[in-house]
Amino acid sequence: MNEDAAFIVDQVDRHHAWFQESLCLIASENVMSPLALEMYLSDFGHRYAEGLPGKRYYQGNRYVDQVEIRITEMLQRIFRCELADPRPISGTVANLSVLFGLTKPGDTITTVALSDGAHISTAKFGAVGVRGVKTMTYPWDEENMNIDPDGAAKLIREVRPKVALFGQSVFLFPTPLRELKDAFREVDCPVWYDAAHVLGLIAGGQFQDPLREGAHIISASTHKTLPGPQHGVVLANPKDEGMEKALRRSIFPGVVSNHHLHAMAALGIALAESEAFGDEYAAQVVRNAQALGQALHERGMRVLGEHLGFTASHALALDVSQEGGGAQVALDLERANVITNKNLISGDKSPVNPSGLRLGSQELTRLGMGPAEMEQVADLIARVAVKKEKPAAVARDVAELAAQFRKVRYSFHPETNAYRRHVLVSP
């Protein structure tokens, strides 16, 4: 092993050791099961499969095709959709495929503002801007931490957007799609829902059902509340045959060549685990997020959405402007081995130094924590953010708690495929 290789291996080992002693509360992350990880490390990762099953541009896809067909069927079954495409290699690539399929440069779409929780792909400097698409943002109801449905309906009727886009990266409460159905019908625009953060909650019946509430298309990543690999999907009940063809063509050859077959196989395991354990897991994720929000509130932190129970998802949004701002609090917590991220909240202008902090309960839930542990997590966060204890002292207690939760739950046994709840993170 040469010096460069040794350095890289050492840094990865250090990272792994650090995260074994940390509490990971990034709302956009999760951990795969050992069986999914085994698929991720398989020979699929060395191979190419451009096109659709049975219509490939490469040979050698005899078994890849069968895996892709089965995963497509699972997606159609779980999300009750006509079109399911597991080829996007990330959530943003899934978003790009919808943009390329349904819009052209100069078109206008309606969406959520970044400061109200939208993903960066909807910004002028993100995928929407790269496509040359203009945006108009929905009015926001700060009290209810959601789109103002009356204002949004008025905007849609006035703008008559090419596409009405919904979904957020700070996604606390279901989008009022049903309340906007009349506006959608009048304008006759496709309705697109970015479910990256809440895909696992939708699968588990714990958030909302966008395709039954007014959306035509769902795009998503597959590694947040759905604890799979970093990959993407497009799901749809297309308005017509033209929409289906446009989406298929925009995925391949539009924004995807080979679609990372190892990640697709790992996604299949995550979907199978979701069918087996997803309802219970999703419900626990939401219970834990609400318990964590309440516990932080009781310790003097300003958790948004208090009168609504703080959240109906995995995510929490905190205003930490009085504790030093999101950037400083996130850095202090990292020094205590509590991994979070700074985040814009409504009214913020600077993404570099925002007022907010974002938390997510999905990874700690996957490792077996419940409401009692959320009390302990809240204590640790408040000791750093509110009491201003030295992070190094808090880190010792963080490591002690983390050491008790190093096994993946809601997963299959990696050897027998029998249902089992206690599987080592590293097989």
Question: What is the pLDDT tens value at each position of the chain, 427 positions in all?
Answer: 899 999 999 999 999 999 999 999 999 999 999 999 999 999 999 999 999 999 999 999 999 999 999 999 999 999 999 999 999 999 999 999 999 999 999 999 999 998 898 998 888 888 899 999 999 999 999 999 999 999 999 999 999 999 999 999 999 999 999 999 999 999 999 999 999 999 999 999 999 999 999 999 999 999 999 999 999 999 999 988 999 999 999 999 999 999 999 999 999 999 999 999 999 999 999 999 999 999 999 999 999 999 999 999 999 999 999 999 999 999 999 999 999 999 999 888 888 999 999 999 999 999 999 999 999 999 999 999 999 999 999 999 999 999 999 999 999 865 544 444 334 444 3
One-letter amino acid at 181 equals K
> What DSSP element (H or E) covers 63?
helix 62-79
Reported in sequence order, the residue ranges of 131-205 that DSSP labels E, i.e. its strands, are 134-137, 140-141, 146-147, 163-166, 191-194
What is the domain class of 35-269 according to CATH? alpha beta
Checking phi first, is residue 106 left (phi over 0); if not, alpha (psi -120 to 50) or beta?
left
Of 253, 283, 335, 293, residue with least CA distance to 56: 253
Range(s) for CATH 3.90.1150.10 in the chain? 278-424
Range(s) for CATH 3.40.640.10 in the chain? 35-269
Does domain 278-424 fall under CATH 3.90.1150.10? My reply is: yes
Reported in sequence order, the residue ranges of 44-162 that DSSP labels E, i.e. its strands, are 51-52, 55-56, 83-85, 108-111, 134-137, 140-141, 146-147
One-letter amino acid at 126 equals G
SS3 content of the chain, % helix, strand, coil (to 5): 45, 15, 40
